Every structure is written in C-alpha cells, then in structure tokens.
C-alpha cells in the first residue's frame, strides 16, 4: 500500500520560536492543517510515494497545507483560506530540512541562508534558491503572500510553496488570482471562512537546470461550502500568460491525476446555487476582459455594459493590430540597437585588440632592452675577471719556465760530482761478485766431474755383471 510521509513544519523568523513534529502513521490527512480543506478532508487520488504532505505552521499555528512532489521538486497544490491582506513582508526564503534528511535534529523550517552544512543531502528532494539563480525563472508562490495577513505571509515564503515561473507569468498569475479571489469569490460566498482555496500546478517534462520541473499549467479550485454555495475551477496555461479559463471542478479534476477528487462530496454539489455560480462566472469574465467588476442591476447600466462590449468587440481587432504594430516596431528598435551594439562591440573589440597587441609588443621591447642593459655590467665584469686570470696564468708559466731552465745545470753538476764516488764505491762490490762467480764455477766443475765418474763406475759394474759368468767371477 502506497503511503505518503507527512511533516508538521514550523516556520519561524527566530530559531526555536516554533516547534514541529512528524505526524504518526495513525494520523490522517494533514493533521492540524486539515482545517484548510472542505469537511476537513484533503483531496483524494494523490497517492504516489514521492508525494509529501506538509503542514505549514508559524507561531505554533497552522497557516496552510502543501502537497509537495520530491520527484518534480515543486508543490502540486497548496490549500489555504483568504485572510485579511497585509502589507507585503520582506522575503525570507525557507527550506524544510527533514525532506532531505529525515534523521536531522532540525524539526522546523529554517532560512536557507542559515542552514550551513547541518543538513545531509540538502537539495536532494527539494528545490533550493541556487536552482533558480541565472535560470530566467523566479520563485512563483502558489499561495500568494498578498492574500494573507502578516503571520500568514511569513509562512508563504518557503520553497515548498514555490514553482518556477517566468517573471511576466508570475506577475500575471498573482494579479489574476488576487482579482478573482477579492472581486469574484469573496463577494459571492456568504461565509468567508467557509471559502476553501486550492492553488496548484501540473508538472511538465521541462526542467530548470535538470532538476526542478516547470509547470505546464497553473490552476485554482474554489469551494464555498456554505448556504447557496458553489465551486469553480480556473486554469492558466504557461504558454499564454493572458489566458484564464473557467471550468467546473469536475472538469479540472480530469486534467489532474486519474482518480483525483479535490473536495469532499464535490463541495456539496447537491446544495450548490447555480445562480451564485453564474454570478461568480460573470465576475470572472469581467476580470478576464479587463472590465470593472460591478453588482448593479440597473437596466441602463446593463445597456451601457452591452454597448461597451460591442464597442470592445469592434475595437479589439484594431487594438490587436495596433499591439502587433507596436510589437513589430519595438522588435525592430531592439534589432537595430542589437545590431549597433554588435558593430560597436566589434569595433571596440578590434581597437582593444590592436591596443593590447601594441602594448604587448612595447612591453616585450622594453623587457629585451632592459635585459641587455642589465647584462652589460655583468659582461664587462666577466671580461675583466678573464683578463686578470689570463695574466696570472702567464706569470705562472713564466715562473715555471724559469725554474725549469735554472734546474738543468744544477742537476748535471751534482750527477758529475757524484760519479767518482759511485765508481770507487762499486769496485769492492764488483770484486766480491767476481769471486763469488769463480767459486761457483769451480764448484760446478768439481760436482760435474764427480758425477761423471760415479756414473761411469756404475756403468762398468753393470756391464761386468752382465757379460762375465758367475763362476768366473768367483775365481
């Protein structure tokens, strides 16, 4: 069974000023914020798991209810009641920490600028201000702040109540909603606190920065759950900021998700006053055509109204033609200015490029000259050092040559003087060596002679033993 997570959100200018809690599973709907729905029953049919129910609170009081899509990062609808409008408050945009980080200790909405790094995965399931910066879209409120009194206004400036809208479309939507509520719906509901309003958006496949879905249309459903009550639906297409189509709530529900029912019992359809509904539709038609909404039943006034309508029908083509001509003229002027801007940009760019190239060349020339001037003293010093080192080398070579020349006679004289000494001292050594040689020669001769004689005796004995008989030898 698919379920939706429900958060009670506390919106406060001062931290800790309000408290919030996660609604238990046994609680139904939007808890304390069920008071913003007819019969205290929220719309049925929004059952996707990424649909998050949010009870927007301030000063511990519920201010309005929001069904938020974490897939599209925009609210699908905000439910609220008309309160006495107050002067517009300063925008202080808030985010809901628990949508991105359910385990976070922050159980209330906080200013996005003050949240720092205390929330894990911030922006994973909800849009942030950074998603709108530089995109051409602004944060358009489904529950407009100007339809609320002071405390309620603070609560509306939350990113869970905002959808991406072009500035012109956002202005048109808020203007039309303000006029319809104040001039058409409130005057025709006998009990103002029984007027229940649902402002919603239908997501498209177009996304801002690949994250936040741009609505394909905006819608408003109203239910006057009172005697002589009525219900009404309005739709504004994103593609046409001037469009504002009225239709029944049933027809509006068919444009939303299958099985959606916005009001319990179709806002008491059986007890609705057709006359009141027609009066509301007439007022809406007057707002759409730009006429002043009035309630007079004077025939002359009606006749004047018909005359104005006929005149408006006749004048409309001419007005549209004039608007077209003005548009063409404005576009031509914009084109001329754009063309002139391109020409000026190209000329100025060329001049700046030339000046830059000239400056770059001048800087390079001055740099080269500076390097040459800086290198002159260094080169001069290096030449002087080399000359000095060369002079020292010449002196060294001269001294070495002189020493070599002077050292030749001295060595010769020394060797010549030492010759008799070395000669005389060598005679005993020579005589000794000669005696040693003669003695060795004589010993060698004696040894050799003895060896020859011994070998000769051995040979003669051997021959005698071989050839002389033993008997004879005994004789």
Structure tokens at 308: 């104005």
Look-up of token digits 């809901």: 96
Dihedral sign, Cα of residue 151, residue 154, residue 156, residue 158: negative
User: In this structure, is residue 273 part of a structural domain?
Assistant: yes
Residue 86 pLDDT = 61
The domain spanning residue 217 has which CATH number? Answer: 3.40.570.10
Which tokens in the block code for residue 225? Answer: 């759950």
How far, in Å, CA of 83 to CA of 193, rounded? 9
Pairing of strands 162-165, 138-141: antiparallel
Alpha-carbon distances, residue 234 vs 95, 173, 348 (angstroms): 29, 11, 52
Q: What phi, psi does 349 have (nearest 5°)?
A: -65, -40
Place of tokens 């004689």: 453
- How many whole angstroms separate alpha carbon 405 and alpha carbon 400? 9
C-beta atoms surrounding 404 within 10 Å: 9
Round to whole Å and give the CA distance between 212 and 215: 10
Three-class secondary structure assignment of the chain? CCCCCEEEEEECCCCCCCCCCECCCCCCCCHHHHHHCHHHCCCECCCCCCEEEEEEEECCEEEEEEEEECCCCEEEEEEECCCCCCCCCCCCCEECHHHHCCCCCCCCEEEHHHCCCCCCCCCCCCCCHHHCCCCCCEEEECCCHHHCCHHHHHHHCEHHHEEEECHHHHHHHHHHHHHHHHHHHHHHCCCHHHEEEEEEEEEEEEEECCCEEEEEEEEEEEEECCCCEEEEEEEEECCCCCCCEEECHHHHHHHCCCCCECCCHHHHHHHECHHHHHHHHHHHHHHHHCCCCCCCCCHHHHHHHHHHHHHHHHHHHHHHHHHHHHHHHHHHHHHHHHHHHHHHHHHHHHHHHHHHHHHHHHHHHHHHHHHHHHHHHHHHHHHHHHHHHHHHHHHHHHHHHHHHHHHHHHHHHHHHHHHHHHHHHHHHHHHHHHHHHHHHHHHHHHHHHHHHHHHHHHHHHHHHHHHCCHHHHHC
pLDDT given at position 17: 35
Q: What are phi and psi of 23, to 5 degrees?
A: -70, 135
Indicate whether 57 belongs to any domain. Answer: yes
Tell me whether residue 283 is in a domain.
Answer: yes
Residue 208 has what pLDDT?
93
Domain span including residue 194: 21-289
Distance CA 222, CA 290 (A): 21
pTM higher than 0.75: no
Contacts for 10 with CB less than 8 Å, ≥ 6 apart: 17, 18, 19, 20, 57, 58, 60, 107, 108, 109
Q: Is residue 340 part of a domain?
A: no
Residue 183 domain-assigned (yes or no): yes
Spatial CA neighbour of 7 closest among 223, 146, 158? 158
Classify residue 97: in a domain, yes or no: yes
Indicate whether 318 belongs to any domain: no
Please check whether residue 59 lies inside any domain of the structure. Answer: yes
Distance CA 311, CA 313 (A): 5
Number of domains in the chain: 1
Both tokens of 359, joined, read 């400056």
pLDDT value of residue 80 = 92
Q: In angstroms, what CA-CA distances link 77 with 46, 126, 325?
A: 10, 15, 39
CA distances from residue 404 to 388, 395, 407 in whole angstroms, order as listed: 25, 14, 5
**What's the half-sphere exposure (Cβ side, CA atoms, 13 Å) at 258?**
0
According to the model, what pLDDT value does residue 467 have? 78
Q: Measure CA of the first residue to CA of the last residue in the chain; give whole Å.
A: 154
Tokens matching residue 455: 């070998």
Count of beta carbons in the 10 Å neighbourhood of residue 64: 28
Closest CA to 66 of 148, 2, 153, 158: 158
pLDDT digit string (tens) for the chain, length 475 residues: 333 344 433 333 333 333 333 344 445 678 888 999 988 899 998 988 899 898 887 777 888 999 999 999 999 999 998 887 666 666 778 777 777 777 777 666 677 777 767 777 788 888 888 899 999 999 999 988 888 777 677 888 888 999 999 999 999 899 998 899 988 898 888 888 889 999 999 999 999 999 999 999 999 999 998 888 899 999 999 888 888 888 888 899 999 988 899 988 768 676 778 888 888 898 888 888 776 665 444 444 445 556 666 776 787 788 878 888 888 998 899 889 889 988 998 899 899 988 998 898 899 889 888 888 888 888 888 899 999 998 999 999 899 888 877 776 666 667 777 777 777 887 888 888 888 888 888 888 888 888 888 888 888 888 888 777 655 444 4
Q: Which residues neighbour 232 within 8 Å (Cβ) at sequence distance 6 or greater?
A: 185, 221, 222, 246, 248, 249, 277, 280, 281, 284
> Hey, what are 16's tokens?
């800790």
């Amino acid at each position: 069974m698919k379920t939706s997570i429900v958060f009670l959100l506390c919106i406060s200018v001062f931290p800790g000023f309000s408290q919030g809690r996660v609604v238990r599973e046994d609680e139904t709907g939007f808890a304390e914020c069920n008071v913003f729905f007819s019969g205290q029953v929220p719309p049925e049919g929004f059952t996707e798991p990424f649909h998050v129910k949010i009870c927007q609170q301030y000063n511990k009081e519920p201010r309005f209810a929001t069904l938020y899509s974490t897939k599209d990062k925009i609210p699908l609808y905000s439910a609220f009641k008309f309160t006495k409008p107050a002067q517009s408050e300063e925008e202080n945009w808030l985010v809901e920490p628990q949508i991105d980080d359910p385990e976070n200790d922050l159980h209330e909405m906080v200013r996005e600028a003050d949240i720092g790094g205390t929330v894990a995965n911030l922006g994973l399931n909800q849009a942030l201000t950074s998603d709108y910066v530089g995109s051409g879209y602004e944060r358009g409120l489904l529950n407009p702040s100007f339809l609320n009194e002071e405390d309620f206004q603070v609560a509306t400036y939350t990113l869970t109540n905002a959808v991406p809208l072009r500035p012109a479309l956002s202005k048109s939507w808020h203007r039309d909603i303000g006029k319809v509520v104040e001039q058409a719906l409130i005057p025709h509901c006998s009990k103002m606190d029984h007027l229940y309003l649902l402002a919603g958006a239908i997501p498209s496949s177009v996304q801002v920065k690949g994250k936040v879905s741009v609505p394909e249309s905006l819608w408003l459903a109203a239910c006057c759950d009172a005697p002589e009550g009525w219900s009404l639906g309005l739709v504004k297409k994103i593609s046409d900021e001037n469009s504002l189509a009225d239709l029944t709530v049933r027809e509006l529900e068919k444009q939303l998700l299958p099985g959606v029912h916005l009001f319990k019992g179709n806002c008491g359809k059986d007890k609705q006053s057709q006359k009141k509904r027609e009066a509301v539709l007439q007022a809406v038609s007057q707002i759409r055509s730009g006429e002043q909404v009035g309630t007079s039943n004077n025939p002359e006034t009606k006749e004047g109204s018909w005359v104005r309508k006929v005149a408006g029908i006749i004048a409309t083509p001419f007005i549209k033609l004039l608007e077209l001509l003005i548009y063409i003229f404005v576009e031509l002027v914009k084109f001329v200015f754009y063309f002139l801007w391109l020409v000026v940009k190209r000329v100025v760019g060329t001049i700046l490029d030339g000046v830059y190239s000239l400056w770059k060349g001048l800087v390079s020339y001055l740099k080269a000259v500076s390097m040459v001037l800086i290198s002159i003293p260094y080169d001069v010093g290096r030449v002087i050092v080399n000359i000095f080192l060369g002079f020292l080398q010449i002196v060294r070579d001269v001294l070495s040559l002189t020493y070599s020349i002077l050292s030749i006679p001295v060595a010769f004289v020394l060797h010549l003087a030492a010759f008799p000494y070395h000669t005389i001292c060598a005679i005993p050594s020579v005589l000794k060596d000669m005696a040693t040689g003669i003695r060795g020669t004589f010993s060698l001769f004696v040894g050799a002679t003895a060896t020859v004689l011994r070998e000769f005796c051995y040979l003669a004995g051997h021959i005698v033993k071989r050839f002389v008989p033993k008997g004879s030898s005994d004789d």
